[in-house]
Structure 1
Amino acid sequence: MCSIQEDDQFRLESKSELNTGRVCMKCQNLAVVVIRVNDAFCRECFLKYCTHKFRSAFGKSKLIRDGDAVLVAVSGGQATTALVHLIQEGLSCRAQKKLRFNPTLVYIDEGAVINESREERLKVCSKMAALFKATSFPFHIIPFEKVMKESLRYDSDSSLAGYMESLTLENSLANQLRDLLDSTSSLTAKENLQSILRRRLLISLAEKLSISKVMTGETSTHLASQLLSSISQGRGKHVSDEMSFSDGRNQAVMFVRPLREFSSKETALYNRMMSLEPCIQPTLTTKTGLGSSIDRLTQSFVATLQAGFPSTVSTIFRTGEKLSSELDKNKEDDFCIMCQSVLDTDTPESSALSATLFSQKLSSVAVPGEKMCKETSGEENCCGEGDGSCKSTNKTGSLDKEDLLPLSCYGCRLILREMSSTTCIPGNIIQEAEKRIRRSAMKSSIQGYLLEDE
């Protein structure tokens, strides 16, 4: 989802939007924009350039077929505003080769994350509804707190009256969502958790509408900074899924990125040429310092380099395209219960992950003679180890952090370790974890009666 920081990033990397004294590299008319050092375009050629690049993304992949229903996630930022307009132009009668898929727009209202008032959220949703109605596409506006429901069901209602009624009914879910985010100690973990929950909400809505593809508006600038951020947070094994045109980590719903060849500068210039007004919303990192989170710092780093060295984004982006992993995606239970990525924790004892886990285990051992188990302090049957593995009968039946860690990838383990409590984790995640644990226990109990594959 686009943020105010990404809009500032565009301003930083584009020193001048309009250019005088240069000619278009295509038709030799007076150029009005320079998207890179030597790439000057007039208005007509620039729009043709954007249209061709957008349509070629579908032609190269051949993943979206005629008549496919596609859910388009719209945040209101520069990239998704351009995405909706490009889809609208591609489906219009004046297009030479019309796009053949059927789009459904969705806007996720994340006002509860930053504790916006009901009136502020209604104002933004009213503006987004007006923009969606102008496209004549079917659309949905849903509150972000819906992700906290155990079943993740969503009753379609595009009317603002029905939406505001749902806000009143789901007030407890909004409080639960804020408690979940507040339980994490760092802003980096909050951003990652918010991104994971947003993805799960889009998947649930797509399944509810029987749609198998979700279209998002990530640009090459965003993906370049995301690449560096993911690697620094231990998600290097999943870079190939995050950088490719299609993301098939979920078997039922595929995510596609048609704007991955666009830079944030190009989408902003396209919006200006077409007189489009984005609706950019504040996020968790709005008005924070550059070092407030890893994502925020990486975005600023990439934007600063791009301003001085115009090939920075393309170099990082093309390098990320070449990265791949050898993770086995065919195992039934070999995926993270949080982000649904393939688990990357099955490593040999000599790996860096094993060394990290061994250090964490040593640091969690209590000092001899000191009883640190807080949950059953004073109980006679308390184990007294202080490492969260208390086996006393007074312990509640709900899953705790230590139960969820083995079922998560390394990146999500970092989020879980920063949580002070796991009681606010969405019920569907807990249900999946309980099912996996029961399945593993059942498999262990009958392991001696199973025949091994040759």
Structure 2
Amino acid sequence: MSCELPDGEEDSILPETRSRVKDLLDSGTCIKCKSAKGIISVHYAIFCGDCLKESATKRFKSTIRQQPLQHLPNGRVLVAYSGGISSSLMMYLMSALLSGNMYKTSRFTGLVVCHIDESAIAGTGSTQQEDVWKCILDARHVVEYVVKSLEDIFTNDAAPMSSSPRDRLLESLASASKQSSREDLIQCYQRQLLMQVAREYECPYIALGDTSTRLAIKVISSVSKGRGLGVPDLVNSEVTMTGCDGSQVVVIKPMKEFSSKEIAMLVNLYKIPIPTIARYDTGLPAKSSIDRLTEDFVLSLLKDFPSTTSTVLKTALKVQTGHRTNPGVSMCALCGGPVDPSSRRWRQFHTVSITPPNYSKCSSSTESCCRAPFTELALASLVCYGCANVIKESDVDKLPPFVKHNVGAMQKQIVGRERDERLKSQISEFLIEDADDS
């Protein structure tokens, strides 16, 4: 029995219907069981606590019980646990459902929880991490968990021994002149750490706790920053991410169908403990960055227009950029998103720059491939438009080692493509074309 109206139709409801909904709210009766007292209105449908939990469990099961993809085997899922209400609920539902016979009907064979400690940039102590550990240990069926510090992204950096990874992290973020750029760098570092942990623990899947509200905010902010080419990857429930080394990880979003209001209510109903975590952006004003401003804008719209989230996501789902089928689209060396080749041409025509470096005589090995200096100019052609603006406001010498590794791997691919194109042009006159059947 469906208790919800189609997404995007709430604002077009007639005044008589709104009045009837108000009467149902006043009566306090659940629209599904019609006996218990309703506690929350979801898409103009009133649910009691038990019916809301049942609906949430069914929606969550439908996501994680999908058939496995052809090119990926069954395997463990890495749950990205930030300590917020959404990731806490995701960890609770995942650990509760992945037990007993659930493994036989799911593509997931195990569960690994990963938390990224941001205390280095948030200025907090060890007390915060003790709360995180307690909440992870309280979750059922969590047999493996790992805590990574954000500064671990600099662990393998060939920097002077006198400089610690924490110092290099703070220097990297301090080199960015704007708060929006600093937030983008932090998100890139978090993504790379999750990819590293997934490879280390042999997890072909990463589960993120992005809600529908959070995804709507990300869609608008990403377009504002110049990352519109990757919008389909933001809103899809499953996205296959490929690293420069060819490794693939499927990123899933099992909380995509939940709004922030539902998440808060379910956390209260399940009595899930939430750790007290101070984030790097705690207390910042709305105008401090594009992300904060977009969040404030969307949340203010939701007060009067409840369909804002569904409208943004439905519109984004219709966007077809074709970046996954276009051979000219490469991967960004910083954020891992798609790089539009037309943006490079646009920058060449509208900006004054030096001639880009020639990699035709570059070494064939990844380690020594980038003999050209690692500069903003060399990096600008290998990142997306949004990240190009970030590195313009940052010091590229203070970026973590994974960026240089990605640049070397991508330059090696460029050399291979240029070599193939030269070879093809040299033998093109000797190639026999298929004649039309006559």
> TM-score scaled to structure 1, two decimals?
0.76
Change (3 A) 1:52 1:436: closer
Give structure 1 stretches of 5+ with no counterpart. 1-18, 153-168, 348-352, 365-384, 390-395
Give 2:264's match in structure 1, choosing from 263, 268, 293: 268
CA distance in 1, matches of 2:82, 2:328: 33
2:58 to 52, 57, 66: 52
* Aligned match of 2:11: none
Q: Is the 8 A contact 1:306 1:313 kept in 2?
A: yes
* Residue equivalent to 2:168: 176
Aligned residue number for residue 350 of structure 2: 359
Query: Counterpart in 2 of 1:428?
Result: 402
- Across the two proteins, how many residue pairs are aligned to each other? 381
CA apart distance, 1:436: 3.2
Equivalent positions of 1:118-197 (< 5 A) are: 120=125, 122-134=126-138, 135-137=140-142, 138-150=144-156, 172-197=164-189
Q: 2:363 aligns to what?
A: none
Residue number in structure 1 paired with 2:368:
none
**Aligned runs of 1:58-97 on 2, under 5 Å?**
58-60=64-66, 62-63=68-69, 68-92=75-99
State the alpha-carbon separation in 2 of the partners of residues 20 and 171 from structure 1.
62
- Residue 410 of structure 1: which of 366, 385, 401 is its match? 385
- What is the match of residue 111 of structure 1? 119
Per-residue deviation, residues 384-418 of structure 1 (Å, max 9, x unmatched): x8x999xxxxxx96411011000111111111111
- CA drift of 1:305 comes to 0.8
Query: Is contact 1:329–1:342 with CA below 8 Å preserved after alignment?
Result: no
After alignment, is 169-178 or 96-105 more displaced? 96-105
Separation (CA, whole Å) in 2 of partners of 1:281 and 1:180: 23
Please state how far the C-alpha of 1:115 moved relative to its aligned partner. Answer: 3.5
2:304 alignment counterpart: 308
Q: Conserved in 1, the CA contact under 8 Å of 2:340 and 2:384?
A: yes
**Residue of structure 1 aligned with 2:213, choices 191, 199, 221:** 221
Q: Which residue of 1 aligns with 2:197?
A: 205
Q: Which residue of 2 aligns with 1:341?
A: 337
Corresponding letter in the other structure for 2:88: T
C-alpha distance after superposition, 1:407-437 (max 9, x if no partner):
1111111111111x21111112113313433
On the 8 A contact 2:68/2:107 being kept in 1, the answer is no
1:71 aligns to what SS in structure 2? Answer: strand
Residue in 2 aligned with 1:241? Answer: 233
For each residue in 1:358-398, what CA deviation from the matched residue of structure 2 results, as whole angstroms up to 9, or x when unmatched?
Answer: 3332xx7xxxxxxxxxxxxxxxxxxxx8x999xxxxxx964
| Residue in 2 that maps onto 1:381 | none
Cα distance change on mapping 1:423 and 1:88 into 2, 3 Å: same
RMSD: 3.1
With over 3 angstroms needed to count, the CA separation of the structure-2 counterparts of 1:98 and 1:276, relative to structure 1, is: farther
Question: How far apart are residue 67 of structure 1 and its match?
Answer: 5.4
| Deviation digits for residues 263-289 of structure 1 (CA, Å, limit 9, x no counterpart) | 111111000011112225232322111
Deviation for aligned residue 1:200: 0.7
Q: Distance in 1 between matches of 2:347 and 2:214?
A: 30
| Compared CA separation, residues 432 and 97, structure 1 to 2 (3 A) | closer
2:229 & 2:89 partners in 1: Cα distance? 31
Distance 1:89 1:100, change over 3 A: farther
Unpaired runs of 5+ residues, structure 2, are 1-24, 358-370, 434-438
Secondary structure, counterpart of 2:279 in structure 1: coil
- Counterpart amino acid of residue 336 in structure 1: C
Aligned CA distance change for structure 1 residues 127 and 70 (closer, same or farther; 3 Å): same
Shift of 1:31: 2.7
